[in-house]
Chain A
Amino acid sequence: MLQGWPLLSLLIWLPIVGGVGVLLSSQNNPDRARWLGLGVAGLVFALALALWGGFEAGTAGMQFVERTAWIDAFGIDYALGVDGIAMPLVVLTAFATLLVVIAAWEVVQYKPAQYLAAFLIMEGIMIGVFSALDAILFYVFFEAMLIPMFLIIGIWGGPNRIYATLKFFLYTFLGSVMMLVALIYLRTEAGSFAIADLYGLNLPLGTQTLVFLAFLAAFAVKVPMFPVHTWLPDAHVEAPTGGSVILAAITLKIGGYGFLRFSLPITPEASLALDWLLIGLSLIAVVYIGLVAMVQADLKKLIAYSSIAHMGFVTLAFFLIFRIVAGGGTEDSALLALQGGMVQMISHGFVSAAMFLCVGVLYDRMHTRRIADYGGVANRMPVFAGFFVLFAMANAGLPGTSGFVGEFMVILASFQAGFWYAAVAGLTLILGAAYSLWMIKRVVYGPVNNEAVEALSDINRRELVLLGGLAAVIVLFGVYPAPLLDVMEPSLNALLRIVLATP
């Protein structure tokens, strides 16, 4: 029944218009801004759930399609639609934004209306990225995303925010202009900006490689992959809690999504030819970044590095498919890798959001992110400690949590490409547990370390709702991931056929 609605347009423009509305109506009325923001975010989340509810799981095609000519002269369409790959990411975006709005409640006192407006506008843009079917529309949303995030870090960020925002902005901007060039070139080949028309162009390998590298520049920075990852820890450290949540939960996913939507199907031969590079960088991310995460003294840096390592699993999974098929694995195993990578992205959205929110809870009380300033938090905040341990375990990939599902599938799949891929990737089992639980040991456990910890009070009802909701989702997807996988399977399967069909 919802198929007739312009649901995706609503999902994009409602938060943007709502955000502007909050900005205009409630600048001097923080409470109204909060309630209005909550109302908009809640409504968008409800619409996102309706999107899921109305989504037909059995097919690979785009659903909820909307298409209007936008800039006729260049053949650019306002074309929207979601398949099994994009839909879960849209829902995740709406969920994460709702969390951010709740998390900001009495915490953000400086310009709350602007803060909420920035996040709502960001939400609409991100949903636009996931549902754009036109390459230029995608690009516009992709670039537009930078602006609210730039403001979020630049205005509500920490002391070193100028360096961080510049680094963040330039890194990502530099990457995406390359992509624009590639897209314009592809238009000349395909005669259309519709993403689907860019598939199966059979470009010569040399050209494919250039296009592939241009996409790589855009998406590798977003993911971020080693060695273009150093903007992320800086951005996280300076960003306010909500900024970190959105950054980790959603914007990193746009990199992974880009690889699936653009790199693999548009330049499959170049992907095959350069898979060694992507696999190598991904494995470096898992091991190198895992070790680096372990020695961080700053909570947010630790989680930021852990995010990079987790995203390494995603890119590993996506680019290992050629070797899985070549190594004697079945196509089901390649599909297992893609599914694993996608689940890892979704799960990381929940888990990293949860971890950053936990740090936010601590930061609001102690105003420090240094691990050494904590110790014995469990004595004063037992309920919080329970959540934090659960999320850390999910971060370490404990079965029964969503963090396990993707890791498990990717490791099983990578074994089919060769023992050593699985062996190196599997090190995450040890490293992930090492950095997550060593952090827990130093922050949560132990005797009360100092007077500031002694004065801590346990989480309030709002924080309980926040962390409890995330915990429920994390456990639910850990115990029963089938619904998520079933939604994604036809689309990933279709993608796999496109990628592997090329000679």
Chain B
Amino acid sequence: MKSIYLLVVLAPLLGAAVAGLAGHVIGRNNAHRLTVGAVAISALLSLFVLYQHVWGGVGPFNETIYRWASVGALNFEVGFLVDRLTALMMVVVTSVSLAVHVYTIGYMHDDPGYQRFFSYINLFTFSMLMLVMANNFLQLFFGWEAVGLVSYLLIGFWYRKETAIVANLKAFLVNRVGDFGFLLGIAAVLMYYKSLDYAEVFAAATAAPTMTLSIFGTEALVATVGALLLFIGAMGKSAQVPLHVWLPDSMEGPTPISALIHAATMVTAGIFLVARMSPIFELSETALSVVLVLGAITALFMGLVGLVQTDIKRVIAYSTLSQLGYMFVALGASAYAAGVFHLMTHAFFKALLFLGAGAVIIALHHEQDMRKMGNLRRYLPMTHITMLLGTLALVGTPFFSGYYSKDVIIEAVHAADRFGAQFAWWAVLLGVFITALYSFRLYFLVFWGEERLDPKAKAHITHLPRYVLPVMQWPLVALAIPSVVIGYLTIEPMLFGDFFANSIVVNPANDVLAKKGADFHGPFAFGLHAAVNPAFWLTVAGAATAWFFYIYRPQWLPAINQRAAGLVWVLKHQYGFDALYRVVFAGGGRWIGQALWRGGDQRVIDGLIVNGTARTIGRVAGALRGVQSGYLYHYAFVMIVGLLLLLTLFVGSWRGWF
């Protein structure tokens, strides 16, 4: 199996290298053939790996590939840990990536940076696979930063656009704030658990669950400190409040990468991290409560911001933030499997929604403002149907994948008995209404109502054939299928079976999913259960509200907006996070830098001390000699005098003269 794992990782790396370094030699078509082929190999092998791990009786694989470095007895290695959690992530990453690769052939068709784009997304696939397949913290951090690099390169892909290159810098820096915590977390792990290898670390953590360290003048559990520091990294990568500000801006990048990186895969790295680290997080109620509360805040409040966005991609971006919050709520409730389950379903339907949005944007010749859309189902029937399916999955329509994954989270957090669980339950429940509202708002604004197209967009779309390009259409269909059915098919083994038995550790006292398992009577019954489930009725209410204001009585909307002007203002400014960071960190950093440079380096050190000394010496020497010669001479003179004095001092103290 080792060679298969290696091939999964190396195929996209090779594709990236060739397409990136020799892109102009091999040409556009060969570039996409090569990179799509590489990801297809990875995807097929990943499916095979998952199959082997679930049905083939293959056990977890944990081996070193090569020794990166060693210091004394400390070993830093590159190696793979492949168990069912990893295998599942591999399939999710490579399959969504494959769909996006194919879609890109159409989406980037006319772009001069065609080969570069394919090289980047191949490189991303490699990096993400390195991240999920790591068996140690070093490689995890490598993958973690490598996906950050590719995200940076891709957000700024259109590097002539000022907004894009501001957004990618912002994304990288905010992620670096997270990585700062993450790296300290890794350092804590090494310090207290004496290794960077997962298996050894988990064993050491479990063996000493009550080990403490003193920090900020108090004693804290090592597990708490370590888990929280690692979680700071997760907050950056998975865009949780207050490190969420980069994700909406990342929409400046081409839409395929919004789907792949900023919705389906990279941003879920934080979820994967916490699930992977479950043996450590389980030791700390405090850390889990923090995860729970921050997740809940993100789920609710970022969903609200989605209500006032007019850019189609930004609505979906805020939706992603909110859904990531749901996943963290699941993790914080110790329902790790539910978090990963939602990660999987979300990857499919959110990638679908983004690619659908991309199809709309391309059809309208790069129009992203939903106020200039409307009634597009006439022109884009396939996009309409697939996006409707994605929307239904997202809002949690019974029997759709999102229904299963989201409902389990709500039930799990309801059953959880932990600080913050009550609040989180209310937040995610209310979030259901919000989700339905913004999702159907988008759906109605884009596909129904009156047509509000710009003449240019109108001209573009009427000259199109009935569908966009087939190569952009098939990925939508391919993603729509799992968006609908994957929840129904997999909920039982993944959440209530032993699917994650060897990858996720849950303290039996915390195991809310096991409690829920007693009430589970198959996916069909679970679907029917919707009728007596408040979450379902909240979804219906949200959808109905959207219908009422955007289809039935759109003329009431301005009045509502006016009544709630204050709230709308707050939401449009995203609670002021961006402004705060811009002033305090970006502005403050530059201000301090200027102050230190002009005040410290130039005025005090150079002005007062260095040149001041030069002037003083010049005056003293001038007074002594009464003759002005060059500065160098003066200095040399003083130096020789000083040298003699020091020599006398040394020799004197040695000979005992003083």
Contact = CB atoms under 8 A, between A and B. Distances in A.
Interface of A: 166-167, 169-170, 173-174, 177-178, 180-182, 184-185, 188-189, 207, 210, 214, 227, 230, 288, 291-296, 329-333, 335-336, 339, 376, 378-379, 389, 393, 398-400, 404-405, 408-409, 411-412, 414-416, 419, 422-423, 426-427, 429-430, 433-434, 437-438, 441, 444-447, 479-482, 485-486, 489, 493
Contact of B187 (A398, A415, A433, A447): A415
Interface string B114-152: 000000000000000000000000100110011001001
Given A398-B149, A441-B169, 5 more contacts: A170-B632, A185-B650, A291-B589, A292-B596, A332-B72
Contacts of A379: 160
A177 B70 contact: no
Contacts of A433: 172-173, 176
Contacts of B165: 441, 445-446
7 contacts: A230-B605, A291-B589, A292-B601, A408-B138, A415-B190, A422-B187, A486-B70
Nearest to A169: B632
A295 B593 contact: yes
Contacts of B632: 166, 169-170
Contacts of B169: 437-438, 441
B502 interface: no
Contacts of B138: 408
B219 interface: no
A425 to B, nearest CB: 10
B159 A411 contact: no
B594 A295 contact: yes
Nearest to A484: B69
B650 A184 contact: yes
B74 A336 contact: yes
A489 B589 CA distance: 39
A482 B590 contact: no
A184 B649 CA distance: 12
Contacts of A294: 589-590, 593
B71 A336 contact: yes
Contacts of A482: 67-70
Interface stretch (B178-186, B441-449, B564-572): B178-186
Contact of B159 (A173, A438, A445, A480): A445
A118 B607 CA distance: 32
Interface of B: 66-74, 138, 141-142, 145-146, 149, 152-153, 156, 159-160, 162, 165-166, 169, 172-173, 176-177, 179-180, 183-184, 186-188, 190-191, 215, 589-590, 592-594, 596-597, 600-601, 605-606, 609-610, 631-632, 635, 639, 642-643, 646-647, 650-651, 653-654
The residue among A167, A294, A489 with the most chain B CB atoms within 10 A of its own CB is A294
B648 to A, nearest CB: 10
A332 B190 contact: no
A198 B78 CA distance: 42
5 shortest A-B CB distances, which residue pairs?
A332-B72, A415-B187, A295-B593, A291-B593, A399-B142
B643 to A, nearest CB: 5
Contacts, number: 164
Contacts of A398: 145-146, 149
Given A332-B72, A447-B160, A426 B149 contact: no
Nearest to A438: B169
Given A167-B610, A398-B145, A415 B188 contact: yes
Given A416-B191, A446-B165, A430 B592 contact: no
Contacts of A295: 590, 593-594, 597
A329 B191 contact: yes
The residue among B159, B188, B643 with the most chain A CB atoms within 10 A of its own CB is B159
Nearest to B139: A399
Given A227-B605, A230-B610, A422 B69 contact: no
A225 to B, nearest CB: 12
A47 B183 CA distance: 40
Contacts of B73: 332
B215 A180 contact: no
Contacts of A445: 156, 159-160, 165
B632 to A, nearest CB: 6
B180 A481 contact: no
Given A180-B643, A400-B146, A437 B72 contact: no
Nearest to B20: A386
B183 A426 contact: yes
Contact of A446 (B74, B159, B184, B610): B159
A335 B71 contact: yes
B142 A400 contact: yes
B599 to A, nearest CB: 10
Given A170-B635, A178-B646, A430-B177, A415 B610 contact: no
Contacts of B642: 177
Given A185-B650, A446-B159, A423 B592 contact: no
